[in-house]
């Protein structure tokens, strides 16, 4: 089946070259039994690709099951996947078949594979190598013929380096990698998806479909969409319900969805690269930290301007400062704030005021200063934000996670990762 046929069959909208490359890889690998690792941010549609692989394979008439490894507690995931014997643990009143037994001959999609516990990873590796597994509490070796398609929204190589993911399992899963592009990497597809969702919700709510003015269209195309297609779909449904106008301009769009005016795209030619397994939720911590820094800088600027105004001072001419090429930094400051060197021409001097800044009620001891160490490490920034949030809410993790804009589970993981005291 060609790419256009797959798009129509599975309801995929878009013409992005990155999207079509991912689809072409999925189509070509579907007829084999190779393991596949699908990579992409949360909300890009990784499960759709797993279904494409299954539906176009020779296993299409057998079972398909999608499992979120991050949603199953570590203490029960082995039982869920491989089954257990009666009495093998408290509560095991009967024997139970696991997914690898019930889906024999079909396909298992393991989403968030990076959240799988290390012991479970070892059992999964054995299945990939020999097709053998053991139920929990049993010594009888069972066999299964299951194709595994895995997906992740984190950097597994970083997890390998930190000892939280098996390197041998990574290479067995990553036989054929598929990178599903984020929505901000498919800017040409954003308005196409908007129109598709708009039509769907118009039919659902029996109303006219909404459209955007060219300026509003440009606005949504320049937003980063951290929640990807899921976020776009939710926004269109919100607009379909709340909007009175059927063609929204920028003002109406921002009024209904205020955060849409935040242009979070990277600069042209650049990509976000914060290192490690930084997902959108984790990057939010850094963004909040940078916003706090911006607020602090604004306060400093306001203080300086107030000091200048209150003491009837004048600011140096920054344009003249920049034009003073060829002079050392010390010479520039001496020239502007101390005295005029005799070997320089009058017209070279920028406007300056030699009067000192006087702080009411303060002495003139300039040695009473505090050195502030600049935080350059992204990990230290995250730690600092987490400490502040926990202190603000007296270590109530749920409230701290809400303040940071991340899930409570992500906050707990970061606390463990950084060995922060409870």
Percentage of the chain with pLDDT > 70? 76
Neighbouring residues of 331: CB distance < 8 A, sequence distance ≥ 6: 341
pLDDT, position 81: 96
59 and 36 fall within a common domain:
yes
- 380 domain residue, yes or no: no
- 230 domain residue, yes or no: yes
Q: Which of 225, 240, 261 is the last residue of a domain?
A: 261
The domain total for the chain is: 2
Q: Output the DSSP codes for 324-373.
A: -TTS-HHHHHHHHHT---TTS-GGGPPP---SPP--TT----TT------
81 and 149 fall within a common domain:
yes
Beta bridge partners of 148: 108
206 and 81 fall within a common domain:
no
20 and 139 fall within a common domain:
yes
Strands 36-39 and 147-152: parallel
- 356 domain residue, yes or no: no
Beta bridge partners of 177: 37
84 and 231 fall within a common domain:
no
Residues of the chain with pLDDT under 50: 265-280, 329, 332-333, 336-344, 346-355, 357-359, 361-372, 374
126 and 232 fall within a common domain:
no
The residue segments making up the domain with residue 219 are: 194-261
CA pair distance 341, 320, nearest whole angstrom: 16
64 and 160 fall within a common domain:
yes
- 153 domain residue, yes or no: yes
Widest CA span of the chain, in angstroms? 97
> Which domain CATH number covers 255?
1.10.8.60
- 199 domain residue, yes or no: yes
Q: Which of 181, 205, 224 is the last residue of a domain?
A: 181
- 134 domain residue, yes or no: yes
176 and 200 fall within a common domain:
no
Quickly count: other Cβ atoms within 10 Å of residue 42's Cβ. Answer: 18
- 288 domain residue, yes or no: no
Q: What are phi and psi of 141, to 5 degrees?
A: -80, 125
**Dihedral sign computed on CA atoms, order 273, 115, 185, 230:** negative
115 and 83 fall within a common domain:
yes
**Dihedral sign computed on CA atoms, order 189, 194, 199, 204:** positive
Strand residue runs (E) in 103-162:
107-111, 132-134, 141-143, 147-152
Spell 63-90 as b/e; 16+ CB within 10 A means b: ebebbebeebeeeebbbbbbbbbeebee
CA pair distance 189, 394, nearest whole angstrom: 45
- 114 domain residue, yes or no: yes
Helix/strand/coil for 3: helix
162 and 214 fall within a common domain:
no
> Which domain CATH number covers 146?
3.40.50.300
64 and 154 fall within a common domain:
yes
pLDDT, position 394: 85
pLDDT, position 419: 80
Q: Which of 148, 181, 214 is the last residue of a domain?
A: 181
Helix/strand/coil for 147: strand
163 and 209 fall within a common domain:
no
């Amino acid at each position: 089946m060609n790419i256009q046929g797959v798009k129509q069959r599975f309801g995929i909208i878009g013409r992005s070259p990155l999207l079509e490359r991912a689809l072409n890889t999925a189509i070509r690998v579907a007829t084999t039994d190779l393991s596949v690792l699908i990579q992409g941010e949360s909300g890009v549609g990784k499960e759709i690709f797993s279904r494409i692989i299954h539906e176009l394979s020779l296993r299409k008439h057998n079972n398909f099951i999608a499992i979120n490894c991050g949603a199953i507690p570590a203490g029960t995931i082995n039982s869920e996947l491989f089954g257990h014997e009666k009495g093998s643990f408290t509560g095991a009143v009967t024997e139970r078949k696991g997914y690898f037994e019930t889906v024999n001959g079909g396909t298992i999609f393991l989403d968030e594979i990076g959240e799988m516990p290390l012991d479970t990873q070892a059992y999964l590796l054995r299945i990939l190598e020999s097709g053998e597994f053991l139920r929990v509490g049993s010594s009888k070796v069972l066999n299964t013929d299951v194709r595994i398609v895995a997906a992740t929204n984190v950097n597994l190589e970083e997890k390998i380096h930190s000892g939280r993911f098996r390197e041998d399992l990574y290479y067995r899963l990553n036989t054929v990698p598929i990178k599903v592009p984020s929505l901000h990497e498919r800017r040409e597809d954003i308005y196409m998806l908007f129109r598709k969702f708009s039509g769907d919700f118009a039919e659902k709510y029996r109303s006219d479909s909404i459209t955007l003015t060219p300026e509003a269209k440009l606005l949504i195309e320049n937003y980063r969409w951290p929640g990807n297609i899921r976020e776009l779909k939710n926004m269109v449904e919100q607009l379909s319900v709340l909007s009175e106008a059927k063609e929204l301009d920028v003002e109406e769009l921002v009024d209904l969805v205020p955060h849409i005016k935040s242009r979070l795209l990277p600069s042209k030619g650049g990509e976000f690269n914060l290192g490690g397994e930084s997902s959108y939720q984790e990057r939010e911590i850094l963004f909040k930290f940078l916003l706090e820094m911006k607020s602090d800088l604004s306060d400093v600027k306001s203080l300086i301007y107030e000091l200048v105004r209150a003491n009837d001072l004048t600011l140096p001419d920054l344009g003249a400062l920049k034009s003073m090429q060829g002079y050392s930094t010390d010479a520039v400051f001496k020239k502007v704030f101390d005295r005029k060197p005799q070997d320089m021409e009058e017209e070279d001097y920028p406007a300056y005021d030699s009067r000192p800044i006087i702080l009411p009620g303060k002495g003139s001891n300039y040695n009473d200063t505090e050195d502030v160490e600049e935080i350059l490490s992204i990990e230290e920034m995250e730690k600092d934000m987490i400490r502040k949030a926990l202190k603000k809410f007296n270590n109530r993790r749920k409230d701290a996670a809400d303040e940071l804009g991340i899930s409570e589970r992500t906050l707990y993981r970061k606390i463990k990762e950084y060995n922060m005291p409870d």
